[in-house]
Amino acid sequence: MPELPEVETTVRGLARVLDGQQISRVALNRADLRRAFPADLVQALTGAQVTGLGRRAKYGLIHTNRGRSMVFHLGMSGRWRIDPDEIGKHDHLVLETGSGHVLALCDPRRFGSVDLVDEAALDAWPPFAALGPEPLGPDFTPAHLQRALAGRTAAVKLLLLDQRIVAGLGNIYVCEGLFRAGIDPRKAAGKVSPAALKRLVPAIVAVLGEAIEAGGSSLRDYAQPSGQLGYFAKSFEVYGREGEPCPCGGTVRRIVQGGRSTWYCPKCQR
């Protein structure tokens, strides 16, 4: 599933050709993705001017001068394609701009979603209302984590995936962040020391920043809107590296937590 860096990279790629443009045509090539497209999507976007793009957690936002934003989620396999040579069978939503660009939302497995939300109501929109702070924003601090994790007996790795605690973190970057901070992913969250949390916040911020600069991580379906792959997977230190050596002299292990794989080094993560 595309995580925060992949969505951020997608939004930045779309902004290069969409920000400030008028949407001249909207085409729906099926009725739904994970759920139905908004009934008035074509009417709401046709002729609208894009006033900005953004991201909240793992959602991308396209703001318009009509006071409504198109909010998209890439699901498991979704990606945007800019000026494709042809429209394929999995290009379910197509936007054309007044300057002649074509943007196609491709989602072979159709686990993504598209919504229209009044901009004034974005913060109260149910998927956003309960989200925690953005990990790249000023509210993501060791003090916030200390308050959120206090007294919690669940594994720290699982709670970092809880979008109510931190918005947008996914499996890849939690594994990598915990490794850089030297924290055992199995440790009860409430027992992670303040000193460790002070290491964890900048570790997560750094790994996300590096991933964005690398265009995200291409594992199966993800590609940037330009068609380029994301190259951060070449920088993984533990994710997907079961049985490989750690620089500390240990060996990377894989365990399952909450139904998902976790990779870590039992020697240097304590």
Identified catalytic residue from 110, 187, 254, 260: 260
Active site annotation includes 157: no
Identified catalytic residue from 3, 6, 134, 176: 3
Active site annotation includes 3: yes
Strands ordered across the beta sheet of 23-28: 23-28, 91-97, 102-106, 79-82
H or E segment to which residue 28 belongs: strand 23-28
Identified catalytic residue from 2, 5, 185, 225: 2
Active site annotation includes 260: yes
- The three-state secondary structure class of 265 is coil
How many CB atoms neighbour CB 230 within 10 A?
Answer: 22
Paired strand residues for 104: 81, 94
The C-alpha angle with vertex 75 and arms to 36 and 218, in degrees rounded to 5, equals 150
> Measuring CA to CA, which residue among 21, 57, 56, 25 is closest to residue 41?
25
Identified catalytic residue from 55, 56, 58, 241: 58
Active site annotation includes 89: no
The two structure tokens encoding residue 214: 């690398």
> What crossing angle do the helices spanning 194-213 and 171-181 adopt, rounded to 10°?
130
**Residues forming the active site:** 2-3, 58, 260
